[in-house]
Amino acid sequence: MNTNSINNKGCSVCEQGKENYTTFIAGAFKGTEYYQYDYRHTNGELFSTVAKSLEECRKHRDEWLSNKQK
């Protein structure tokens, strides 16, 4: 789900078991587009990351999930 904002007053609006993301241009990096990504685990814990692609965000999420199972 791609939305204009993934938070409300600084708090993530991501639902449990779902992902939420948006893109932004980081001026400090000469116009490079980044993804701001949130995933809320079914236990309510929030994972957030920023990366250059949605695939990279999901890879980081999958690694996070894998480490939680250990």
Who wins on pLDDT, 67 or 26? Answer: 67
Q: Are 66 and 58 in contact (CB under 8 A)?
A: no
Would you place residue 3 in the very low, low, confident or very high pLDDT band (cuts 50, 70, 90)? very low
The predicted pLDDT at position 37 comes to 94
- For residues 7-21, give the mean pLDDT: 82
Mean pLDDT value across the chain:
85
Number of CB atoms found within 10 A of residue 70's CB: 4
Task: Based on DSSP, count helices (H) and strands (E) in the chain, helices before strands.
Answer: 1, 5
Q: Evaluate if pTM is beyond 0.95.
A: no
- For residues 44-51, give the mean pLDDT: 93
